[in-house]
Amino acid sequence: NAGVTQTPKFRVLKTGQSMTLLCAQDMNHEYMYWYRQDPGMGLRLIHYSVGEGTTAKGEVPDGYNVSRLKKQNFLLGLESAAPSQTSVYFCASRFGLAASYNEQFFGPGTRLTVL
């Protein structure tokens, strides 16, 4: 099992450009999450999904859109990138509702720089 994978690993954008970050998991997890990590601020939830075809806003959703067309994939889009979106982006997934399955599994991250 590859676990949670993220594509690309690194990306540099110019202000106003768009891009899509891809997250894939092969663990048959129901829930998937997108976070951003900034120095001194921990990880903040951008959007999440509780199943195929569903999405919901997290703590910092502005400027981002997401889609979950397939259970194994969760896409994060930036329509018009801004320097404030320079960050490391992490995707995570979780099995389901049962209390013993609260653990989120994280991908390796995507380092995005917006100039």
Per CB under 8 A, does 97 bind another protein? Answer: yes
Query: Of these, 76, 92, 112, 114, which contacts another protein (CB under 8 A)?
Result: 92
What is the per-residue burial (b if ≥16 Cβ within 10 Å, else e) of 49-80? beeeeebeebebbeebebebeebeebbbebee
Residue 21 binding another protein, by CB under 8 A = no
CA dihedral 81, 89, 42, 26 (to 10 degrees): 150
Indicate the burial class of 42 (C-beta count within 10 angstroms; 0-12, 13-18, 19 or more): exposed
Quick one: 4 or 76, whose CB is closer to another protein?
Answer: 4
Total of residues contacting another protein (CB under 8 A)? 27
Alpha carbons 103 and 93: distance in angstroms, whole number? 8
The smaller minimum CB distance to another protein, of residues 17 and 86, is found at 86
50: contact with another protein by CB under 8 A: yes
Determine, following the binding rule CB under 8 A, whether residue 4 of this chain makes contact with another protein: yes
Contacts with another protein, residue ranges (CB under 8 A): 4, 31, 33, 40-45, 48, 50, 56, 58-59, 90, 92, 94, 97, 99, 102-109
